[in-house]
Amino acid sequence: MPRQGTRVPNRGQSPYGGVAVVTIPKFCELSGYTVDAVNSKIDKAIWPQGKVWIKAPDGKRLIIVKGFELWVLNHPQV
């Protein structure tokens, strides 16, 4: 898995600039979700570990940008 801030090819589809993983505060800044909302989705397993988020070696939770995008596109609106 790429490190935080690692650039991946961007075909103009992601508003996140091709960054593979981001910290929760950065994700919130970009997406409009609150930190509490993100942590709630992680804690309730709405966002599966390894697909939408990962735990870094230092224990920090990181959001997998592509995983989030796929989650949004593949789940119906509530």
Identify which of 22, 21, 24 has the alpha carbon closest to the alpha carbon of residue 40: 24
What is the predicted pLDDT for the residue at 11? 47
Helix, strand, or coil here: 21?
strand
pLDDT digits (tens), the chain, 78 positions = 444 554 444 444 555 566 699 999 999 999 999 999 999 999 999 999 999 999 999 999 999 999 999 999 998 776
Ordered by start, the domain boundaries in the chain are 1-78
Prediction pTM value: 0.74
